[in-house]
Amino acid sequence: MRKLFVSMICVFVISASAPGAHALDLEGMLGAAVDAFKAVTLSDAEVRNMAAAAKKEMDSKNKLAPPTDAQAIRLARITRGISLDRGLRPDIKLYLAPDVNAFAMADGTIRVYSGLMKAMTDDEVCYVIGHEIGHVTLGHTKATIQTAYATSAIRRGIASSGNEIAATLSRSELAGFAEKLTHAQYSRAHELDADQYALQLMKRNNVNPGAAISALRRLEAMFGNESDIFASHPAPGDRAAALEKLQTAPVQELSRGL
pLDDT score at 51:
82
Q: What is the value of pTM for the model shown?
A: 0.72
Domain locations in the chain as residue ranges: 2-41+141-182, 44-138+185-246
Which stretch of 151-155, 165-169, 230-234 has the lowest confidence by average pLDDT? Answer: 165-169
The residue that leads in pLDDT, 203 or 96, is 96
Average pLDDT over residues 141-148: 76
Which stretch of 14-18, 87-91, 101-105, 148-152 has the lowest confidence by average pLDDT? Answer: 14-18
pLDDT score at 153:
57
pLDDT score at 39:
54
Q: What is the pLDDT of residues 52-64, one digit of tens each?
A: 888 888 999 999 9
The residue that leads in pLDDT, 223 or 16, is 223
- Which of 124, 132, 191, 220 does the annotation list as catalytic? 132
Average pLDDT over residues 192-219: 91
Range with the largest mean pLDDT of 23-37, 207-221, 224-238: 207-221
Q: How far is CA 229 from CA 193, 204, 232, in A?
A: 19, 30, 8
Range with the largest mean pLDDT of 167-176, 179-188, 228-237: 179-188
Q: Residue 21's pLDDT band (boundaries 50, 70, 90)?
A: very low
How many residues belong to the chain? 258
Establish whether 46 is a catalytic residue: no
